[in-house]
Amino acid sequence: MNFILLSQTTTSSPYTMILLMIGMFAIMYFVMIRPQKKRQKEEMEMRNAIDVGDEVTTIGGICGRVVSVKENHLIIESSSAGSKIQILRGAVQSNDTANARLQAEREAARAEAEKAKEEKKKNKKSKKSKED
């Protein structure tokens, strides 16, 4: 008989269930939806920044150099023979020229940071030697 009374007293309030659902939605938003929107925004910025002369790769795997840029279309030259293909701006998977430029900037910044770090070490050593 005591067993029945315990099961009746363990009912949860409806507010707990609502808070649990809100919490699960918040977790889903921050884990799934927000990162996906951020990726889409970056892809859109990359596609809008395509300029004549950039090396691009399409979703289908075609690599080429941009010859002409129109509103929604790009014309790329895919070989040295001069074959040109018109593609949609949304079909561009990556801008290889921009990626190479970004990587070079990162390497330059890294080298500059290492140089500054070495100069700090030299300054510390020279200060110690002057003090002695």
Per-residue confidence (pLDDT) for residue 81, from 0 to 100: 85
> Do residues 97 and 125 share a domain?
yes
- Domain of residue 91 covers 51-132
Return the closest-CA partner of residue 74 out of 86, 63, 84, 65.
Answer: 86
Q: What single string gives the DSSP state of each residue in 4-50?
A: HHHHHHTPPPHHHHHHHHHHHHHHHIIIIIHHHHHHHHHHHHHHHT-
pLDDT digits (tens, 9 = 90+) for 4-33: 544 455 567 888 999 999 999 999 999 999
Pairing mode of beta strands 84-88, 63-69:
unpaired
Domain of 118, CATH number, reads: 2.30.30.60
Q: How many CB atoms lie within 10 A of CB 26?
A: 10
The count of structural domains within the chain is 2
68 in the same domain as 40: no
Q: Both tokens of residue 118?
A: 């070495």
Please report whether residue 1 resides in a domain. Answer: no
Q: Do 77 and 17 fall within a single domain?
A: no
Q: Say if residue 84 is in the same domain as residue 40.
A: no
Mean pLDDT of the chain: 86
Same domain, 39 and 80: no
Shared domain for 114 and 129, answered yes or no, is yes
Tokens of 63: 């690599």
pLDDT band at 89 (very low <50, low <70, confident <90, very high): very high
Helix, strand or coil, per DSSP, at residue 127: helix
